[in-house]
Amino acid sequence: MSFSVGAVRGIDGARGIVDHRLARRMLINEVRRGRIPLEQVCDAHPELVRAARNVGTVTTTMCPICEESELRLVTYVFGARLPAHGRCVSTAAEMATLNRRPDDLNAYVVEACVECRWHHLLRVLPVGGRRTS
């Protein structure tokens, strides 16, 4: 069975949230079982670790890998008229500004551990797309 991109948007054309928590749980279980080595999951890019340390939102969730540090959330927004590497959003005001844009943008929320460099994409959220009538 195949479907078009329009079908993913829903009946009213609204874009949806893509949640990656099930993939996260499976990956953590595979690491704990020894089927996936730590080097494959604790390999966050230095820029992601830097962003997590300096502008990331600290959570109350402990790192599922090292269990020594609280995870931090970092949000990157991608879309038209943004840098190819995306834009790291560090404040609610900055996100609100991007959300008012007419362009369809996507926000990628990544969790990262600044100690062991674990990282995982948690969800993708629609941003912007505000059409003026």
Output the six-digit token pair for 31.
């690491």
Is 2 contained in some domain? no
> Residue 65 above 60 pLDDT?
yes
Query: Which of the four pLDDT bands, split at 50, 70 and 90, describes residue 130?
Result: confident
* pLDDT score at 79: 93
Contact assessment for residue 27 and residue 128, using Cβ atoms and an 8 Å cutoff: no
pLDDT for the residue numbered 16: 86
Residue 83's domain comprises 15-128
Judged by DSSP in three states, 89 sits in: strand
- List beta partners, residue 62: 70
In a domain, 1, yes or no: no
In-domain check, residue 43: yes
The secondary structure element, H or E, covering residue 95 is helix 92-99
Which DSSP helix (H) or strand (E) runs through 67? none
CA separation for the pair 67, 92 (Å, rounded): 28
Residue 73 lies in a domain: yes
Model pLDDT, residue 13: 58
Q: Kindly state the DSSP code that residue 100 receives in the 8-state scheme.
A: T
User: How is residue 64 written in tokens?
Assistant: 């599922």
pLDDT at 69 over 80: yes
Residue 30: Cβ within 10 Å count: 13
pLDDT at 129: 86
Q: pTM for the whole thing?
A: 0.84
Number of independent structural domains in the chain? 1
Residue 96 maps to a domain: yes
Per-residue model confidence as pLDDT tens digits over 82-114: 999 999 999 999 999 999 999 999 999 999 999
Q: Which pLDDT belongs to residue 5? A: 46
